[in-house]
């Protein structure tokens, strides 16, 4: 058992090599594909994210640059206005006449109107001095009398940085009467040339059209968006500003402001977002791009879907191919197996395999072919040798006359000679002489029935003389079977049997009758005696192999039967009928010569 166990592998459980191959192929393919899939999916995710970060970074830097140039443009306008001597004169010169004032006023107003007409993104444009002179837009709008300029943050900041142009956060402009709008105010202080102090302010209120255009024209997927924060982290622009201001939504402005890197991803599973941050040096504003990772990954989903689809197709293709390949590889094995099955059942005729390949199975097939041929030869040789053995045994038997018989006969002759029974002595001696000659002189295995009958006649003559009170014999053989052949030493043992076991023990005179005739293709020879007969039990065991009876010449019924069947096949041989007290009939059936020859040829 131990020796076999070594050969048990994982494939031990499979009913066929093909299934084992298919199974292992499938496992390998699935494993390889899954590994590939996992790696590529991960890789896709990473690259998609990296690409998105690169893309949004570029995008928001561009937006930032646009905003910078936009505010630069506005700053140029403010520089133009604040350095305008007409403006300064109008605001600060206290010695102007009414006419001069009106002239300056209308000049500045025209300039304002020109700017307002050109720029739709400007809500308000104004210059205001701290002592209350002002020009707003088209001159119709008035200052809100309830608001003090000095309270406004952006105004204080503009005065604090006189050389800078200040940008406010988003706020409601309440400086102008009857007009409350959410704006971004760009303010620059104006220096009073007479006092040398910053006594005035120039302001432009920007609406959100340009900024929102800048932000919205750049798409970050379907739901992605851009928003802008000021230095303090307050929202300047957000596509959902209204919702944020209403507190219905929140934005991660604090995360953005505290973020040390230029991007971060919020981990919220389905709602995970990628924040990309870019802060402008000029405005101090921070542009933030927000992209939904689920959307970025929409491409990923598509790509992944493609990957999976391709993998599935590959899997099916690989399966089909592996089925074909395994069939190809295992086909010769199956042929070999079927062939072996044939051999197992003893059919050597179809055992030879035509398959020829140079691989292991090829050499296995070749070896198998050689092996089956060899076995076939061996088996034939074996049968032949068995036959030869029987024959030589037979020869050995035939070549000698039972010494007991010879001794008994010679003893009988002596007794008869002493009694001067010359006639009988002559008959018996001549019969014995003929018997010996027939026995010695014939090397052939097969005799004619005539020869066999004459031999048995001599034998019976001697026996009759020995058992003169008991034995009478008759031979009735049709002449036309005289030339037919019969194996040597068939009749004699049966006749001997009949005498020694049937007749010898009967007290009355017995008749031994030999009949011979042909029936269809067979020859029937019957040895009939009216001796003591046999019990059923004896009859049943008549063909058993007995110990050699030293009294007979050692040829039992068994031996005769064996030889008959060896010569003529299983269909031929001896049959016995017997009734206790009434006698026994042994019937020998053998084929005629024509049939014999055919039989011999087959063998």
Binding site for other proteins (CB under 8 A): 16, 18-19, 22, 26, 144, 146-147, 170-172, 174, 178, 180, 182, 207-209, 211-212, 216, 234, 237, 239, 241-243, 245-248, 301, 305, 308-309, 312, 315-316, 319, 323, 334
Judged by beta carbon, residue 206 or residue 277, the one nearer other proteins is 206
Q: What are the C-alpha distances in Å from 574 to residues 376, 526, 599?
A: 31, 9, 18
Closest C-alpha to 279, from 288, 270, 266? 288
Judged by beta carbon, residue 22 or residue 528, the one nearer other proteins is 22
Q: How far apart are CB 45 and other proteins at their closest, in Å?
A: 17
Judged by beta carbon, residue 208 or residue 568, the one nearer other proteins is 208
CA distance 182 to 226: 19
Q: How far apart are CB 184 and other proteins at their closest, in Å?
A: 11
Q: How far apart are CB 318 and other proteins at their closest, in Å?
A: 10
Q: How far apart are CB 195 and other proteins at their closest, in Å?
A: 30
Judged by beta carbon, residue 92 or residue 208, the one nearer other proteins is 208
Which pairs with CB-CB distance under 8 Å and at least 24 residues apart come from 78-87? 78/165, 78/186, 78/188, 78/202, 78/204, 79/165, 79/188, 81/111, 81/127, 81/202, 82/188, 82/189, 82/190, 82/191, 82/202, 84/108, 84/111, 87/127, 87/190, 87/202
CA distance 380 to 384: 6
Both tokens of 54, joined, read 């690169």
Judged by beta carbon, residue 310 or residue 397, the one nearer other proteins is 310
Q: Are 439 and 478 in contact (CB under 8 A)?
A: no
Q: How far apart are CB 179 and other proteins at their closest, in Å?
A: 9
Q: How far apart are CB 212 and other proteins at their closest, in Å?
A: 5
Q: Are 86 and 108 in contact (CB under 8 A)?
A: yes
Judged by beta carbon, residue 211 or residue 291, the one nearer other proteins is 211
CA distance 178 to 143: 9
CA distance 169 to 236: 6
CA distance 59 to 226: 10
Q: How far apart are CB 203 and other proteins at their closest, in Å?
A: 16
Judged by beta carbon, residue 239 or residue 362, the one nearer other proteins is 239
Both tokens of 155, joined, read 């105004």
Q: How far apart are CB 298 and other proteins at their closest, in Å?
A: 9
Q: How far apart are CB 134 and other proteins at their closest, in Å?
A: 18
CA distance 181 to 299: 41
Burial 305-316 (b: 16+ CB within 10 A, else e): eebeeebeeebe
Closest C-alpha to 139, from 88, 93, 104, 98? 104
Q: How far apart are CB 234 and other proteins at their closest, in Å?
A: 7
Judged by beta carbon, residue 201 or residue 498, the one nearer other proteins is 201
Q: How far apart are CB 337 and other proteins at their closest, in Å?
A: 11
Cβ neighbours of residue 309 closer than 8 Å, sequence gap 6 or more: none
Judged by beta carbon, residue 312 or residue 356, the one nearer other proteins is 312
DSSP 479: G
Judged by beta carbon, residue 324 or residue 603, the one nearer other proteins is 324
Both tokens of 479, joined, read 């002449």
Q: Look at the block and give the residue holding tokens 């209350």.
A: 132
Q: Exposed, middle or buried by CB within 10 Å (0-12, 13-18, 19+), for 352?
A: middle
Judged by beta carbon, residue 23 or residue 482, the one nearer other proteins is 23
């Amino acid at each position: 058992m131990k020796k076999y166990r070594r050969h048990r592998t994982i494939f031990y459980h499979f009913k066929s090599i093909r299934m084992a191959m298919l199974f292992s192929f499938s496992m390998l393919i699935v494993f390889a594909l899954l590994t590939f899939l996992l790696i590529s999916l991960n890789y896709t995710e990473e690259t998609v994210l990296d690409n998105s970060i690169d893309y949004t970074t570029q995008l928001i830097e561009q937006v930032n640059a646009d905003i910078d140039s936009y505010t630069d443009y506005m700053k140029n306008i403010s520089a133009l206005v604040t350095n305008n001597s007409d403006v300064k004169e109008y605001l600060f010169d206290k010695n102007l006449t009414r006419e001069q004032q009106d002239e300056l006023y209308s000049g500045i107003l025209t300039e304002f109107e020109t700017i307002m007409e050109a720029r739709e993104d400007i809500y308000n444009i104004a210059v205001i001095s701290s002592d209350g002179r002002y020009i707003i837009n088209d001159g119709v709008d008035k200052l809100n009398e309830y608001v003090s300029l000095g309270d406004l943050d952006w105004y204080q900041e503009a005065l604090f940085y006189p050389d800078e142009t200040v940008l406010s956060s988003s706020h409601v402009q309440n400086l102008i009467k009857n007009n409350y709008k959410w704006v971004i105010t760009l303010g620059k202080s104006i220096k009073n040339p007479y006092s040398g102090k910053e006594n005035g302010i120039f302001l432009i209120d920007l609406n959100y059209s340009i900024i929102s255009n800048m932000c919205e024209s750049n798409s970050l997927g379907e739901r992605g968006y851009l928003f802008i924060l000021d230095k303090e982290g307050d929202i300047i622009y957000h596509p959902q500003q209204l919702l944020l201001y209403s507190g219905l939504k929140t934005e991660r402005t604090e995360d953005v402001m505290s973020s040390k890197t230029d991007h971060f991803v919020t981990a919220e599973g389905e709602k995970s977002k990628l924040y990309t941050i870019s802060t402008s040096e000029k405005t101090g504003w921070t542009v933030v791009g927000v992209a939904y990772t689920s959307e970025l990954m929409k491409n990923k989903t598509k790509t992944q879907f493609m990957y999976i689809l391709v993998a599935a197709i590959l899997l099916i293709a690989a399966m089909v191919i592996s089925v074909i390949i395994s069939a190809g590889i295992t086909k010769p094995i199956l042929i070999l197996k079927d062939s072996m099955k044939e051999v197992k059942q003893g059919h050597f005729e179809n055992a030879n395999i035509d398959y020829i390949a140079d691989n292991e199975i090829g050499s296995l097939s070749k070896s198998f072919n050689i092996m089956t041929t060899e076995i076939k030869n061996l088996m034939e040789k074996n049968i032949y040798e068995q036959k030869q053995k029987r024959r030589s045994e037979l020869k050995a038997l035939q070549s000698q006359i039972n010494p007991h018989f010879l001794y008994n006969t010679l003893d009988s002759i002596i007794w008869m000679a002493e009694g001067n029974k010359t006639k009988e002595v002559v008959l018996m001696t001549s019969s014995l002489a003929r018997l010996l000659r027939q026995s010695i002189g014939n090397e052939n295995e097969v005799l004619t029935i005539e020869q066999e009958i004459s031999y048995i006649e001599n034998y019976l003559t001697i026996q009759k003389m020995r058992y003169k009170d008991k034995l009478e014999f008759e031979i009735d053989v049709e002449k036309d079977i005289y030339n037919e052949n019969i194996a040597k030493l068939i009749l004699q043992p049966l006749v001997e049997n009949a005498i020694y076991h049937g007749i010898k023990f009967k007290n009355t005179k017995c008749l031994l009758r030999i009949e011979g005739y042909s029936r269809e293709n067979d020859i029937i020879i019957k040895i009939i005696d009216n001796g003591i007969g046999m019990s059923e039990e004896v009859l049943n065991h008549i063909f058993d192999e007995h110990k050699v009876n030293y009294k007979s010449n050692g040829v039992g019924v068994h031996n005769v039967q064996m030889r008959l069947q060896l010569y003529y096949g299983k269909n031929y041989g001896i049959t016995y009928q017997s009734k206790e007290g009434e006698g026994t009939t042994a019937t020998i059936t053998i084929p005629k010569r024509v049939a014999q020859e055919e039989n011999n040829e087959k063998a």
